[in-house]
A and B are shown apart, each in its own frame.
Chain A
Amino acid sequence: MKTKKLTTLGLSVALALILSYVESLLPPLMAVPGVKVGLPNIVILFLLYRYGWREAAAVSGIRLLLSAALFTGFAAFFYGLAGAVLSLTGSALLKKSGRFSPLGVSAAGGVLHNLGQIALAAFVLDSGYIFAYLPVLLISGTVAGALVGLLTGILIQRTDVR
């Protein structure tokens, strides 16, 4: 059992990494940094439901580190981390409340992800004016998160072998 879990988590890192690579190949959807679907989050959300927040956080952190080293660079790691910490904390709490399905949990996670990134950007650039992007990022986070949540819901359902 322990070996199986270890293997699953290892494969999850690889899968999330490939998904972030695939996403980096897509042209930016809009001229605002941070507007993207967040394909790797399908894996993270799936792990949150299948195992728990520790496993999801571990895979998310390793994925960010590797993807920063391979594709996106040092700065992107911290932006990704700011988003991931906020998003995962919020998602885990919402899931724990038991009132929401992956759809809602993920939509809120998407919004929190964007809030984390914009807060860090405001801090790094030392300029609150970046918050003018907020409406766009709130909407894109909701839509992208809902999409990821929908896909993950299907995935959880189809892969439930127990």
Chain B
Amino acid sequence: MRQSRKKIAPKRGDIFLIVGCLLAALVCCGLWLGLRKDGGTVIVEQEGRETARYALNEDRTVKIEGRAGYNLLVIRGGEAWLSEADCPNLLCVKTGKIRYAGQSIVCLPHRLAVRIVGGASALDAVTGP
């Protein structure tokens, strides 16, 4: 009994592990906040393959149909989101709106990913001297 209590009592190593994990999260978070850029293009990927590409600054609503079901993609005011789907958990709808390059909405049941990439609008190519 005594021996086992010693074995399971919290140790100093625990603090290093937990603080280390949280620090790693903080570093990732900082990198993300520091490096994020406004997106230019919305890319739709189904089953790992790109199936469509839309400009983020053009408002539209698209019904994305796949083998497993559908998702309704809305692009409005520089943001993109999935407003409706027939997947079981609706995590994609709950993910909410995305606007920065690198952000994505994933619907695992439908093997669908909607992601934003930056600076792909045609105007970016002509900026600069």
Contact = CB atoms under 8 A, between A and B. Distances in A.
Interface stretch (A59-67, A80-88, A123-131): A123-131
A33 B91 contact: yes
Contacts of A111: 21, 24
Contacts of A146: 18
A129 B18 contact: no
B61 interface: no
A3 interface: no
A28 B6 CA distance: 36
SS of A interface (majority): helix
Contacts of A108: 17, 21
B104 A132 contact: yes
Interface in B91-123: 91, 94-96, 102-104, 106, 108-109, 111, 113, 115
B8 A104 contact: no
Nearest to A159: B4
B38 interface: no
Given A100-B11, A107-B21, A160-B1, A129 B113 contact: yes
A40 interface: no
A6 interface: no
Given A31-B94, A33-B91, A132-B104, 13 more contacts: A75-B109, A99-B13, A101-B9, A108-B21, A125-B48, A127-B104, A127-B113, A129-B104, A132-B102, A139-B25, A153-B10, A156-B8, A160-B1
Interface of B: 1, 4-5, 7-11, 13-18, 21-22, 24-26, 28-29, 32, 45, 48-49, 89, 91, 94-96, 102-104, 106, 108-109, 111, 113, 115
Interface of A: 28, 31-33, 49, 75, 79, 94, 97, 99-105, 107-108, 111, 121, 124-127, 129-130, 132, 134-135, 138-139, 141-142, 146, 153, 156-157, 160
